[in-house]
Amino acid sequence: MVKYFVEKAKIKNWDKEDILLWVFEKEVNYSCTFTLNDVKAHSIIFSQEIYKNREPIFALFANSGNANCLNGKAGYKALEDIEKFLQEKFKTKKRILFAQTGVIGEFFEKNKVLSALKDIKLKPLESKEDLKVCARAIMTTDSFEKYEYVEDGDLKIMAIAKGAGMIAPNMATMLCFVYTNASFSKEELDILLRYSVEKSFNRISVDGDMSTNDCVFLFSEKDGIKVDIFKFRNLLEKVLKNLALKIVEDGEGATKVMHIIVKGAKSKSKALKIAQRIGNSLLVKTAIFGCDPNWGRIVAAAGSVQTGIDANKCLLFIGPYLLFSNGEKTNYDEAKVIDYMKKNKIIKIVLDLNEGNSYEEFFASDISYDYIKINAEYRT
């Protein structure tokens, strides 16, 4: 059982809930994945230390509006003070995991948070509407709440996420929290989370910028129900993929989503590297935004990975249309391709290398005028 609390701490000058507290009524096991950025927010450093030692936890605290990153000793001390305040309030010595998101380098006003936490009124987390409320509290530039609720017999999986910009592979600024009433060991949770993150959040890109605050937390009731681990893995992967796709769809200023498939590769790692490069190419992104079937940009992006592809063997499709084959442009109807691109939110791009049997897919947003506007005005 999880209970939650949201409140308006006024971390930024906005009129929305910006702090979230999950309190675990039952003892939980947990697993975490964190950003691979060398520059990490204080919340990441704090939570990594707890996770490394597998210390017992009783709560998760998250806030939007301030990343609490590169704030010196004061940034870390603020989290220690919030944890101590909540430990005293709930009369426990168990630890708290932290997740934060917002502007990097701005002073984190912990007193606003402590004031907002003085009168905590917990509610049970038990419905889609509850998840929506929680998801709203961690939004920054997101345009809609991202959450998933799965019931399969007695099994429940509840998840929320945030993210719209600063999204890149290797823990694509995104946060995700998942709770299940199923029981798994710490070791099992590690395997489940890493497998599912690799298949979901590590397969998306909005702008190619890796955040300092990315994290995914998976919580499992220690004495919960028993579920087949493979069945749970499939459900968890589906939940995280759905959330990942919502993040790409909500990419800052995005109008289109590229579903990039690289097939016929010699290895999965090669296919993924090429798909990522295509998805992160600004020239490809802008062409997709303009509904311009500029296949040359896509093939050039694939070649720039320098993995030894042979362009004379490659086939390139946009939607159902073959645009490039045997080293040259095909005799396709450009008007039909443009019409396909204009009418569809998700643009399918398939590159067949014709050199092997490996396959990978990747999701990326386009780049629009609004992306520039949103990020140019992010602090103002």
pLDDT digits (tens, 9 = 90+) for 299-316: 999 999 999 999 999 999
Across the range 199-212, mean pLDDT stands at 79
Is 173 designated active site?
Answer: yes
Question: What's the token pair of residue 107?
Answer: 């002073």
Q: Do domains 2-249 and 257-376 have the same CATH topology?
A: no
Query: For position 168, what pLDDT does the model report?
Result: 52
Residue 204 has a pLDDT of: 85
Average pLDDT over residues 129-134: 98
- Mean of all residue pLDDT scores within the chain: 93
Sign of CA dihedral 322, 328, 333, 338: positive
Query: Which is nearest to 20 in space by CA: 125, 91, 109, 90?
Result: 125
The b/e string for 86-112 (b: 16+ C-beta within 10 A; e otherwise) is bbeeeeeeebbbbbbbbbbebebbbeb
Please name the residue that has the structure tokens 């005005």. Answer: 377
Query: How many Å apart are CA 196 and CA 238, to the nearest integer?
Result: 8
Give how far the C-alpha of residue 200 lies from the chain's centroid of Cα atoms, to the nearest Å. Answer: 8
Cα gap 138→294, rounded to integer Å = 37
Class of the 257-376 domain?
A: alpha beta
pLDDT at 169 over 60: no
Q: Is the pLDDT of residue 166 over 80?
A: no
20-39 pLDDT tens trace: 999 999 999 999 999 988 99
Catalytic-role residue among 33, 35, 141, 173: 173
Sequence spans of domains, the chain: 2-249, 257-376
The listed CATH number (3.10.290.10, 1.10.287.3510, 3.10.180.10, 3.60.70.12) that belongs to domain 2-249? 3.60.70.12
Tokens at residue 179, please? 């709770």
* Among 172, 41, 22, 35, CA closest to 102: 41
Q: In the block, which residue shows the tokens 């005293």?
A: 88
Q: Residues 237-270: pLDDT tens digits?
A: 999 999 998 988 887 678 899 999 999 999 999 9
pLDDT in tens, 83-98: 999 999 999 999 999 9
What per-residue confidence (pLDDT) applies to 205? 79
Separation between Cα atoms, residue 305 and residue 276, nearest integer Å:
10
Instruction: Using alpha carbons, select from 40, 281, 271 the residue that is nearest to residue 32.
Output: 40
pLDDT at 172 over 50: no
Percent share of the chain, pLDDT over 70: 95
Task: Tell whether the model's pLDDT for residue 209 goes beyond 70.
Answer: no
Q: Could you read off the pLDDT of 313-330 as tens digits, one per residue?
A: 999 999 999 999 989 999
